[in-house]
Structure formats: structure tokens, C-alpha cells
Amino acid sequence: MARGPYAAIAVAIVAVSFSSIFIRWSTSDAITIALYRLTFASLILIPFAAGDRSTPLQQVRKRDLALMAGIGVALAAHFAFWITSLKTEGVTVASSVVLVTSHPVFVAIVSHFAMGERVSAPTAVGIGLGFTGVTAIAVADAAISSTTVVGDVFAFLGGIMAGIYFLAGRRLRQRVSLPVYALVVYSTAAITLFVLAAAAGALLPTGDLRRELVLFLAMAAIPQIGGHTLYNWSLRFVTAPVVSLSLVGEPIGSSLLAWLLLAETPTTLVALGGFLALAGIFLTAYSSYSGLASSKA
């Protein structure tokens, strides 16, 4: 068990790094991609949740089910905003993934003002670095086009939704097992996205159907189950530095894969902004998780 969680996090970082690549390869609408990703992920989880005996689904309290449903709506919004960002002309994988991964900065701010959790000096520095980096990315993309800035805003909103998703689920996961929690959250997100896709007329994939379905299944199996779900399991067993490093792993991995597979090279200002943002994310997450660990000791 000592090495298991660390190996799992390493696998999860690589898995989630492929998410933006699969999305870029897909020719379908952003909402369609999100819908099929979460639907396939939910189907994969059904046998695991059905066989879970620690917290059977039928024994979960109605209040917790309602909370998980709300978290699922936030997750649906996260993917809708972020995938739309990746599909926006001019937005690079590097800038989009850095912006959407900046949720520890938002979580720290909300925790301070809404939950009364004191922000330490390192956390405050991390918040400052994070927002400096985010601003640098926005300035760099503003020089490209106003459309690119809109894409950055979508990624930023996706990051806020991710912050809500993690913040709301942090305590709930202590009462509900991972398979059951993930199934309820993912399936609620899928239902939400189905409604959005139906309203937008985007229920069906576009382009080569078989290719699109393979990409959707890959998104569900690799970054969603092999990434997010495995990541959530492993973070229960590791220290704050590992948590913090793992959070910045996806933007680094995604940027490298985009460079190798999509021939995308970020501009100097975007690279600088990404570096500052990642430093801020690391410092914020490290100090926040360290404080959480100290309060439990």
C-alpha cells in the first residue's frame, strides 16, 4: 500500500493529460463530447458501484444523494465550459488547461470568505502568483483575438466549477464510497448534459461515427476512470506535497502532449503566465492541504 497510491497518482496524471488531446481530435460539439464522456464513464462504473458493500447505493441518505446530484451539475458545467474553451479558435491546450486547473486558488478564496477557513501567508502568496499567471495568459491571448479571450473565460469558468466540485465533495467523500459517489455524480452530470445537448440540438456526434465513439470511450476509460477516479482514490493516502505536485501535473503533461501530437507551442508570455500560475497553484494547494492535515492531527 505504501507505493500503491504514488504509482496510482503517476498513472492518473498521465491519463488526465490525454484528455485535451482526445477532445482536440474529436470533431463533435463540446456539449456532445462532454455528454458521451460522462455517459460512458457512468456505464463503466455501474458494476463496481453495484458490488460495493461499504456504502450500498440504496443505503445512502437522501440528503447525501441530493448533494451528490448538485455536485454532478457542477461537474457537468465544468466539462461544458472547459471543452468549449478547447474548441475555441486560438486557445492553446497549455492556456486552457492551466486556467481550468487553477481551482485550488478559487477554493482557497471561497474557503476563507464562505467557510471561515483562515488563509495562511503561503496560501496568500500562492493566490497572488496564481492570479498573476492567469492575468498574463489572458493578456497574451487578448493580443490574438477577442474570440480567444472568450475561450479563456470559458476555461476560467470551468476552473471555478471544478473548485465547487472539489470543495463540495471533500467532506461528502468521507461518508460515501468512491464507486457509489462517482456513479451518482457522473450519471447526474450526464443527465444534465443530455438536457443541454437536447436543447442545443447536439445529441448526436458529428464526423466519422465510429471514430467519435472510440474517442468518447477513450475519454471515459482513460482520463475519467483511469485519471479522475483513480486520482480521487489515491489522494486519501498521500502527503500534501504529492497532492500539490499532482495538481500541476496535468497542465505540464497536456502541454507536452500538445507539443508532440498537435504541434502546439505556447507563446513566451503564455509560457511565463503558465509558470507563474502553476507555481501559485502548487503553493496554494500545498499550504491548504498542509493546514487541513494539521487541523486533523
Question: DSSP letter at 117?
Answer: P
The pLDDT value recorded for residue 188 is: 97
The half-sphere exposure of 131 on its side-chain side, counting CA atoms within 13 A, is 9
- Domain boundaries of the chain, sorted by first residue: 4-296
Cβ atoms of residues 192 and 80 within 8 Å? no
- Alpha helical stretches, state H, the chain: 4-17, 19-25, 30-50, 62-86, 93-100, 103-114, 121-142, 146-172, 178-200, 209-219, 230-234, 240-261, 268-296
Q: What is the pLDDT of residues 118-159, one digit of tens each?
A: 667 877 888 888 878 878 887 887 777 778 889 989 998 998
What is the Cα–Cα distance from 172 to 178, expressed in whole angstroms? 10
Q: What is the pLDDT of residues 48-73, one digit of tens each?
A: 988 887 777 778 888 889 999 999 99
The pLDDT value recorded for residue 250 is: 85
Q: Answer with the residue of higher pLDDT: 181 or 293.
A: 181
